[in-house]
């Protein structure tokens, strides 16, 4: 994405000839980055959630609230996978004019990230039931 934007700036201000595809390509790449970052956020535990209540509860209650939170996130991921697939298939025949790619390419990361979010939520639930914690890769 940096290369695409860099090329766009160079072409516009140095060559005085702006490309037609750079903005669409940057938007497409941003969609892909954001969707997979959201899935990584679920895996690594840096997604937005309010843990104040859960952390104030005693052991079994905290586990139950954590389980419910992971289950809701998992259901959200599953719904992203199902309806994102429908959206991708419904728009696959449409073309992004500036890129010549199917519009479904822009929506494809929704079901893929949804599958990852669902899987990572299951991983958190199983890990919590075993009394362990997931070791984030950023530690």
Q: Where are the alpha helices (DSSP H) in 14-108?
A: 22-44, 52-56, 59-91, 104-107
Q: Which stretches of the chain score pLDDT less than 70?
A: 47-51, 136-139
Q: How far apart (Å, rounded) are the C-alpha atoms in residues 67 and 138?
A: 23
For residue 50, what are its two tokens?
């309010």
What's the half-sphere exposure (Cβ side, CA atoms, 13 Å) at 126? 7
| Residue pair 22/100 in contact by the 8 Å Cβ criterion | no
| Dihedral (CA of 73, 76, 81, 87) sign | negative
Domain ranges of the chain: 32-129
Indicate the length of the chain as a whole number: 139
- Phi and psi at residue 101, to the nearest 5°: -100, 155
* pTM of structure: 0.82
pLDDT at 138: 54
């Amino acid at each position: 994405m940096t290369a695409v934007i860099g090329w766009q700036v160079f072409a516009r201000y140095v060559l005085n000839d702006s490309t037609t595809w750079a903005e669409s390509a940057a938007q497409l790449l941003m969609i892909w980055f954001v969707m997979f970052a959201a899935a990584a956020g679920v895996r690594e535990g840096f997604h937005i959630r309010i843990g104040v209540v859960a952390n104030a509860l005693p052991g079994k209650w905290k586990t139950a609230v954590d389980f419910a939170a992971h289950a809701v996130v998992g259901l959200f991921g599953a719904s992203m996978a199902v309806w994102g697939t429908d959206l991708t298939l419904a728009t696959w025949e449409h073309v992004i004019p500036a890129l010549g790619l199917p519009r479904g390419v822009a929506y494809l990361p929704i079901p893929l990230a949804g599958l990852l979010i669902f899987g990572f939520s299951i991983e958190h639930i199983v890990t919590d039931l075993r009394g362990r914690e997931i070791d984030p890769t950023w530690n």
